[in-house]
Chains A and B, each alone.
Chain A
Amino acid sequence: MSANHSPQTTSQRVAWIATVVSATLVLFFLMAPILAIVPLSFSSSTYLTYPLPGLSLRWYEDFVNSARWINALKNSVIIGVASSLLSMALGTVASLGLAQWKSKWKPLVLAIVLSPMVVPVVITAVGVYFFFAPLGLTGNYLGLILVHTALATPFVVITVSATLQSFDMTLARAAASLGAPPLLTFRKVILPLILPGLASGALFAFATSFDEVVTVLLLAGPEQRTLPREMFSGIRENISPTITAVAVVLTVISVCMLSALEFLRRRNERLKGNAG
């Protein structure tokens, strides 16, 4: 479907140019926040204005030397890694089950499994807050890891299910017919083939947790404040240049995750291409 545009008449050409111009403006709008904030983080001035009076890395030093920000980074990583591992385990196993399960209840179960993605986070956060507070699950890591896992698992299920759809089940059956027990079949045949899908699922899960702030606002104590949570209060009070440095660090992490996803996607497509 590519390269199908071959303008013929003047009016068609005008329409195409109008599309290109307006789309370019919108793409610029989409990139504007990143384009604006990256240079400011290298500014030598305390004021967040252009033109930059000079370049400096002082705000990055501020970030690295601040116990508050480093603690937040540590919390984000702890909660992000733990909840993506947990959601990977639950989500992958469930996806394997959903791929084989045939029942009239399947759409309902699927809707339940995917619902944390659609229900407004405030509702999830408030409900979990009411439920977790008497259980002593607020103000500690466990509660946050549990709720982030619930929010992240739908992404794992979607990604892994999509991978399983293209997985050739006859391979598993062949392994079984040769006498491999189910667990061995999974470890030796299924797992290596769906690994790229699992990895993108894990990335989605990590990104979900890493960017989540509403549940952290309600459930976290002062010890569990994550990067987005610190940014939230920082933006509320007064945006300091240190926040712009943190923002750039977060953006770089996003770029890395996006590149990793793209790499996995291409690899997957190549594998599929070879198989078919």
Chain B
Amino acid sequence: MTAAFVAGADVPLKRRLKRAERARQLRALGLVLPLLAFLLFTFIVPIAGMIWKSVDDWEVPQVMPQTVAALERWNGQGLPDETAFAALAADIRAARDAGNLAVAAKRLNYVVNGFRTTLLSTGRKLKEQPAPGTAKDTLIAIAPAWGERESWTAIKSASGPVTSYYLLAAVDLTRNADHAIVAAPQDQAIYRDVFLRTFEIGFGVTALCLILGFPVAYLLANLPTGRSNLLMIFVLLPFWTSLLVRTCAWIVILQSEGIVNGSLQWLGLIDEPLRLIYNRFGVYMAMTHVLLPFMILPLYSVMRGVSPAYMRAAASLGAPPVTAFLRIYLPQTIPGIGAGCLLVFILAIGYYITPALVGGAADQMISYFIAFYTTETVNWGLASALGAVLLLSTVVLAVLYGKLALGRQTTGGLKN
């Protein structure tokens, strides 16, 4: 009787609980939505837009729509027919009058060097639309480049709507006149070097941070709490100091009249000041300094959790300190080493400010070129493509980091 009563009441209660729970979950999701909407507008859509710009090929289709349409029928062999020449002449005249011929000229100049001159001078000299049937001869007479297949394949390859041109260029590849992927010409092939340099600096800085950070983290983890808290200030204060302040200080320290050179000269160790800044040495020095806390903090948090009993047990069983360290202690700190190294590497490859200020021309990392093409030469396609490659590298590493750091709180605060 009692059981039946309970069982009968049980069903609606369960349902009511479920409904209440669902309402609670919806309300919880509702609280997260404003932030998601905000990030969509200020972060996700802008980055998606940047990636889209790396494949977007809008200039030529917009400025030369008739030519693009006429070239659709061209098989790429020999020269296109008279209609294509007539369309080109019409497009050039229209674009010149609208004032946007330079936009297409710039895009086409990426494919064939000197195309800008060809197109702009044609625009200047083409007074009126050639009579029917004479467009080809008129154009070739104005600029002989129109009689070459290369010029036409350039227009066809830039006809959009999407292009792999920028992404290929970002890894030093290009397409030849036959649309096959080949290595880019020597004078344009610089990005593979830039990426290698970026990873090399990232790797070097990570290694330096690990070597320098390990003893500090060990010391902090093994001192009495009071003293380790005190020493922690030496790690946290530089960590909280502005990046610009620290970079500025390193320039002051390392410049030719700086403290290091001054002391070395005073000691009589050197006669001439050493060149310590605006080169790779300065980049390693400043970047290691900036990123060292990101190594120390995760290492420290892992080392705090390593019980000293293991080391004591190893020692009591007769293991010499080195063996005990290598076989007992080190393996237990691997999660911290992994997290610290990944974190430092991820942050290092994205760095812009420090190398820009303390590096030379040959020490600039990929971020520098992304900013350079965005603001200086306004080659947004290439800037976006380089950004897309950097973003991909970062995301892959960050996913790895997320798996490694899952369930552990490791960051005391990331700053860039």
Contacts and interface: CB of A to CB of B under 8 A. Distances in A.
Interface of A: 1-5, 8-9, 11-12, 15, 18-20, 22-23, 26-27, 29-34, 36-37, 40, 47-50, 90-91, 93-94, 96-103, 109, 111-113, 115-132, 146-147, 149-150, 153-155, 157-158, 162, 204, 207-208, 210-214, 217-218, 227-228, 231-232, 235-236, 239, 243-244, 247, 250-251, 254-255, 257-258
B334 to A, nearest CB: 19
Contact of B292 (A30, A109, A158, A244): A30
B248 A244 contact: yes
Given A33-B246, A36-B253, A130-B380, A91 B35 contact: yes
The 9 A-B residue pairs whose C-beta atoms are closest, nearest first, are A120-B350, A97-B31, A33-B249, A127-B46, A131-B46, A94-B35, A101-B28, A127-B50, A4-B308
B252 A26 contact: no
A34 to B, nearest CB: 6
- Report which residue of A101, A153, A243 has the largest number of chain B beta carbons within 10 angstroms of its beta carbon: A101
Contacts of A162: 409
Interface string B349-375: 111110001000000000100110011
Interface residues of chain B: helix, strand, loop or mixed (majority): helix
Contact of B374 (A8, A126, A208): A126
A118 B252 contact: no
A34 B215 contact: no
Contact of B371 (A11, A18, A122, A207): A122
A174 B32 CA distance: 24
Given A113-B36, A132-B46, A218-B371, A37 B240 contact: no
23 contacts: A1-B304, A2-B228, A4-B308, A5-B308, A15-B325, A29-B212, A34-B241, A49-B258, A93-B31, A94-B32, A100-B24, A101-B32, A102-B25, A111-B402, A124-B47, A131-B46, A146-B42, A153-B35, A158-B411, A228-B243, A235-B357, A244-B248, A254-B241
A251 B219 contact: no
Contacts of A254: 237, 240-242
B12 interface: no
Contacts, number: 301
B223 interface: yes
Given A30-B238, A251-B242, A257-B240, A97 B39 contact: no
Interface in B393-416: 394, 398, 401-402, 409, 411, 413-416
A31 B308 CA distance: 30
A122 B233 CA distance: 30
Interface of B: 24-25, 27-36, 38-39, 41-50, 53, 212-213, 215-216, 218-225, 228, 231, 233-238, 240-253, 255, 257-259, 262, 289, 292-293, 304-305, 307-308, 315, 320-321, 325, 346, 349-353, 357, 367, 370-371, 374-375, 380, 383-384, 387, 390-391, 394, 398, 401-402, 409, 411, 413-416
Nearest to A102: B25
B234 A30 contact: yes
B387 A122 contact: yes
A222 to B, nearest CB: 15
A117 B384 CA distance: 20
Given A112-B44, A126-B384, 19 more contacts: A3-B223, A19-B215, A26-B215, A33-B253, A37-B245, A94-B35, A100-B24, A118-B414, A122-B350, A122-B387, A122-B390, A127-B48, A130-B46, A146-B41, A207-B415, A211-B244, A213-B353, A218-B374, A228-B244
